[in-house]
Amino acid sequence: MNELLFTDDLIKILLVLVLGTAALIITQRSLLSLFSIYSVQSVLLAMIALLLFSEEGFTSLLLIAALTIVSKVIIIPVFLKRLLAAMPIKRDLEFNYLTPIGSIILSAVLFFIVYQAFVGFSEALDVSRLFILGAVIGVSLTLMGMMVIMSRRKVITKIIGYLSMENGVLLFSLFIAEMPFIIEVLIVVDLLMIIILSAILAFGIDSSVEAFHKRLNQLGLDFEE
């Protein structure tokens, strides 16, 4: 019993840290720091999945934790850092519609609204308060990712917003929806394709055809000239 309570307390701490990483993503201007924060956020999600696995014993939770580590902690951040090394910009200083402080205030309001909505349905859903908290932070993380997409101008920053949104969906599924592992695999494959296509668009939007090919070759994406 005490061990279960300790595990629940650890999960609550990790959930708060996930929310903290989302706030940092909203306000951070350094692209390299954005990638690192996304990696940390993904590590926290993997740890939550492992703790839930220790409580419930579902193999799918263990597989999701492993997939998250491989794809979101290793492959995607490494690709983004390689992309950043070949790009002329290192920081995203411009914001649309919302300032960083305005985004944080709006995030707090959204979190409160989502929390109140889930508390109202908690009895009907017949789940514990820990699972309600996980679902609330999952939905809030998705909304904060949408805010990053809306409030940032650089394509590469919008990619982080989209990735953060997907992390929110994953977190929600861990506590409420019980997303099948194969669906998570398909989502990760889609993420990789979207990142590659977005990177190509980000590189080609302000260059000639020759410069575009040269930049892609710097990423290891060889094209015939």
* pLDDT tops 80 at residue 215: no
Which range among 91-95, 96-100, 181-185 shows the weakest confidence by mean pLDDT? 181-185
Highest mean pLDDT among 41-45, 53-57, 158-162, 204-208: 41-45
Query: What tokens appear for 78 in the block?
Result: 């490494």
* pLDDT tops 50 at residue 7: yes
Beta bridge partners of 152: 95
Q: Which is higher by pLDDT, 117 or 89?
A: 117
Q: Which is higher by pLDDT, 96 or 72?
A: 72
With a CB cutoff of 8 Å and minimum separation 6, the contacts of 129 are 122
- Mean pLDDT for the chain? 81
pLDDT, mean of residues 59-69:
88
pLDDT digits (tens, 9 = 90+) for 76-90: 888 888 877 777 777
3-state secondary structure of 97: coil
pLDDT digits (tens, 9 = 90+) for 135-160: 899 999 999 988 888 888 777 788 88
Total number of residues shown for the chain: 225
What percent of the chain clears pLDDT 70, i.e. is strictly above it? Answer: 80
Q: Rounded to two decimals, what is the model's pTM?
A: 0.82
pLDDT digits (tens, 9 = 90+) for 10-45: 999 999 999 999 989 988 888 888 899 999 999 999
* pLDDT tops 70 at residue 192: yes
| Cβ contact 7:54 at 8 Å | yes
Phi, psi of 152 (to 5 degrees): -105, 155
* pLDDT tops 60 at residue 225: no
H-state helical runs in 57-208: 59-68, 76-85, 100-125, 129-151, 155-172, 181-204
pLDDT, mean of residues 151-173:
85
pLDDT at site 208: 58
